[in-house]
């Protein structure tokens, strides 16, 4: 089993690599989307763990290219900037599963086996917050504009800098 870890946080990648190596995986790390494409072609991983928020190209943009380069690989997205829009986009592009950071090694290993069994969703005791709704809407409009921040700001009727500040924050919890 071979895994390609794609994350710009090199310390996180090193910790994950040690965990996967203890479980019998041969590992390689890539700190950018472009490096991931090169590594994937050479390494031919059976598993890919992909972060979405990286400098340069987004993980969401490179996801189809990675799967094209290693078609038999199972790909799991692990991101600290989760949203419904990116989860849907990632799974539609071929991701096996979509996880939010922080996630433990056992959760990541289980995610490679595929999405969780379909169970009726639990009804939350408290409704989703307005801030979370805003985050989800921004992510949807950003995706609709091919991750172009200027076009998204225009579509939302806000200043580009304001949008950039909102995008730099972690998503609010429900």
pLDDT band at 171 (very low <50, low <70, confident <90, very high): low
Q: Phi and psi for 59 in degrees, rounded to 5? A: -60, -30
Helix, coil or strand: residue 116: coil
Q: Which domains does the chain have, with CATH numbers?
A: 2-111 (3.40.50.2300), 130-168 (1.10.10.60)
Q: How far apart are the C-alpha atoms of 75 and 85, rounded to whole Å?
A: 18
The whole-chain average pLDDT of the chain stands at 86
Q: Using the 8-state DSSP alphabet, how is residue 54 labeled?
A: -
Q: Phi and psi for 115 in degrees, rounded to 5? A: -65, 155
- Mean pLDDT within 130-155: 86
pLDDT band at 129 (very low <50, low <70, confident <90, very high): confident
Find the distance separating the first CA and the last CA of the chain, reported in whole Å.
Answer: 37
pLDDT digits (tens, 9 = 90+) for 4-31: 999 988 888 999 999 999 999 999 999 9
User: What pLDDT, on a 0 to 100 scale, did the predictor assign at position 84?
Assistant: 84
What are the b/e assignments for 3-29, b being 16+ CB within 10 Å? Answer: bbbbbbeeebbeebbebbeeeebebbb
Kindly state the tokens that stand for 165.
Answer: 């500040």
pLDDT digits (tens, 9 = 90+) for 43-99: 999 999 999 888 888 888 999 999 999 999 999 999 887 888 888 889 999 999 999
Q: How far apart are the C-alpha atoms of 36 and 59, rounded to whole Å?
A: 10
């Amino acid at each position: 089993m071979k895994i390609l870890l794609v994350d710009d946080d090199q310390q996180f990648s090193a910790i994950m690599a040690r965990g996967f190596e203890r479980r019998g995986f041969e590992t390689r790390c890539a700190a950018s989307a472009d490096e991931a494409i090169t590594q994937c072609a050479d390494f031919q991983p059976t598993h890919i763990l992909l972060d979405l928020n990286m400098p340069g190209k987004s993980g969401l943009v490179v996801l189809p290219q990675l799967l094209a380069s290693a078609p038999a690989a199972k790909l799991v997205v692990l991101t600290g900037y989760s949203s419904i829009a990116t989860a849907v986009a990632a799974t539609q592009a071929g991701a096996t599963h979509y996880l939010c950071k922080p996630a433990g090694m056992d959760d990541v290993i289980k995610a490679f086996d595929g999405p969780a069994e379909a169970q009726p969703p639990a009804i939350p005791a408290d409704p989703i917050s307005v801030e979370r709704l805003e985050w989800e809407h921004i992510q949807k409009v950003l995706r609709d504009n091919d991750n172009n921040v200027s076009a998204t700001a225009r579509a939302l009727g806000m200043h580009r800098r304001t949008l950039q500040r909102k995008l730099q924050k972690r998503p609010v919890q429900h």
